[in-house]
Amino acid sequence: MLNVSQVKKLVRTIVAFRHDEMTCEICFHALDRYVEMTLEGKNAAEAMPLVQSHLQGCTECGEEFQALLEALKAIEDAHEG
């Protein structure tokens, strides 16, 4: 899990990059927060538009997002049931 300083640095890096400059590595490091926001019912696409844009254009990262989302949903469902 990232600490507050690492998250702030990551966010600054993400915000500074244009869509065509976002790498899979940067997207991957932001993915856990993006998924958490999605599961919390927040608008992750609005909060992290560069990540959203990258996920739409990168099949590999999009698949990683879906896998992580499904895994965390399954864990939540198991704890609720």
Every domain of the chain and the residues it spans: 4-80
Residue 78 has pLDDT above 60, yes or no: yes
The pLDDT-based confidence of 21 (bands split at 50, 70, 90) is low
What pLDDT was estimated at residue 2?
A: 75
What does the alpha-carbon distance between residue 4 and residue 36 come to, in Å, rounded to a whole number?
16
pTM for this predicted structure: 0.70
Helix (H, G, I), strand (E, B) or coil at 46: helix
State the average pLDDT for the chain.
Answer: 87
Residues 6+ apart with CB under 8 A from 47: 37
What's the confidence (pLDDT) of residue 18?
Answer: 57
Query: For residue range 45-73, what is the model confidence (pLDDT) as tens digits?
Result: 999 998 998 999 899 999 999 999 999 99
